[in-house]
């Protein structure tokens, strides 16, 4: 039997030396998976022991993290808005910053009992759409992703969460072949300038799907396209909400105003950074 306090200490020292941020927390998640012990108990591991088989499984997970594979991808699932979502090679890891978009939509459209029609473009795991459907109990949503594999992952997440009866997922290029209208359209499109991707943290540059990151020369190409085509799919006074990079709020807001969206506002995330810009389509809701 192996003392887990020593095992965790040694693994933390190794990962920290390799430049892994929040190494201790990542190791707790990996240990929870390998040893079947809750993170809350692992925070104080004195007296905890592991079998040789468990230790071997844990060490294999640590090796993957040492290679800078994100802990979320090692585990294969992650939590977003209190929902456990399966990941796939073609999906981005859901991040807490994206919950800012969910919160902003709920604040702008507070009627939880209305049968909202929701469109999520670049749906990935389905995180944003499924979070909204979990709050809007009578809403129906469509999630679109360029990757058929991502759309399949999102569909599976809807099934596991009991939301598949109110969600449809399709593979396609943005709004091609889509009808409307939709009351709420949300999107977390690729917004990293192409030339910046190689310089990102290895967890992102090497393990996140390129086409879910790359937004063109300045990161704004998807927004330029979407603000032109989405007014045709929005119901009168419908809401459009974008996630974007921390330095892109003014540019996205200008694009939306230039396309005729009204009441355009930018919302900050928990780190006090511009994260979401929203506006209303023409007409009255």
| CATH of span 2-67 | 1.10.8
Q: Distance (Å, rounded) from C-alpha 120 to C-alpha 131?
A: 11
Tell me if 189 is assigned to a ligand binding site. Answer: yes
Question: Among all chains, which residue has been given the structure tokens 């079947």?
Answer: 36
Cα-Cα-Cα-Cα dihedral sign, residues 201, 203, 209, 213: negative
Asked if the domains 2-67 and 77-280 are classified in one and the same CATH topology, the answer is no
Report how far Cα 55 is from the mean position of its chain's Cα atoms.
Answer: 31
Tell me if 16 is assigned to a ligand binding site. Answer: no
Tell me if 215 is assigned to a ligand binding site. Answer: no
Tell me if 59 is assigned to a ligand binding site. Answer: no
| CATH of span 77-280 | 3.40.50.150
Q: Distance (Å, rounded) from C-alpha 130 to C-alpha 120?
A: 10
Domain ranges, ordered by start, for the chain: 2-67, 77-280
Q: Distance (Å, rounded) from C-alpha 38 to C-alpha 33?
A: 9
Tell me if 145 is assigned to a ligand binding site. Answer: yes
Residues 6+ apart with CB under 8 A from 154: 91, 123, 124, 125, 126, 129, 130, 143, 145, 169
Tell me if 29 is assigned to a ligand binding site. Answer: no
Question: Among all chains, which residue has been given the structure tokens 């909400």?
Answer: 241
Q: Is 31 helix (H, G, I), strand (E, B) or coil?
A: helix
In the prediction, which pLDDT does 285 show? 47
Q: Distance (Å, rounded) from C-alpha 233 to C-alpha 186?
A: 12
Tell me if 100 is assigned to a ligand binding site. Answer: no
The low-confidence residues of the chain, meaning pLDDT below 70, are 283-285
Report how far Cα 85 is from the mean position of its chain's Cα atoms.
Answer: 10
pLDDT digit string, tens, across residues 238-260: 999 999 999 999 999 999 999 99
| Whole-model pTM over 0.85 | yes
Tell me if 250 is assigned to a ligand binding site. Answer: no
Tell me if 45 is assigned to a ligand binding site. Answer: no
DSSP state of 272: S
């Amino acid at each position: 039997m192996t003392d887990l306090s020593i095992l965790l200490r040694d693994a933390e020292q190794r990962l920290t030396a390799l430049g892994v941020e929040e190494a201790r927390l990542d190791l707790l998640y990996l240990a929870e998976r390998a040893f079947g012990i809750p993170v809350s108990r692992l925070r104080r591991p004195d007296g905890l022991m592991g079998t040789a088989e468990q230790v071997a499984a844990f060490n294999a997970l640590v090796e993957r993290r040492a290679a800078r594979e994100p802990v979320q991808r090692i585990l294969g699932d992650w939590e977003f808005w209190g929902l456990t979502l399966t990941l796939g090679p073609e999906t981005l890891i859901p991040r807490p910053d994206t919950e800012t978009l969910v919160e902003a939509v709920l604040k702008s459209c507070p009627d939880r009992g209305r049968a909202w029609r929701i469109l999520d473009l670049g749906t990935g795991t389905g995180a944003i759409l499924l979070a909204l459907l979990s709050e809007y109990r009578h809403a129906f949503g469509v999630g679109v992703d360029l990757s058929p594999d991502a759309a399949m992952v999102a569909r599976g997440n809807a099934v596991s969460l009991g939301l598949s009866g109110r969600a449809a997922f399709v593979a396609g290029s943005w709004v091609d072949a889509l009808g409307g209208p939709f009351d709420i359209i949300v999107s977390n499109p690729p917004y990293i300038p192409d030339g910046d991707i190689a310089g990102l943290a290895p967890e992102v540059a090497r393990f996140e799907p390129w086409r879910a990151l790359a937004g063109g020369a300045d990161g704004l190409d998807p927004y330029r396209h979407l603000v032109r085509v989405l007014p045709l799919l929005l119901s009168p006074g419908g809401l459009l909400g974008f996630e974007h990079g921390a330095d892109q709020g003014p540019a996205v807001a200008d694009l939306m105003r230039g396309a005729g969206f009204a009441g355009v506002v930018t919302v900050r995330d928990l780190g006090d950074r511009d994260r979401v810009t929203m506006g209303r389509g023409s007409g009255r809701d």
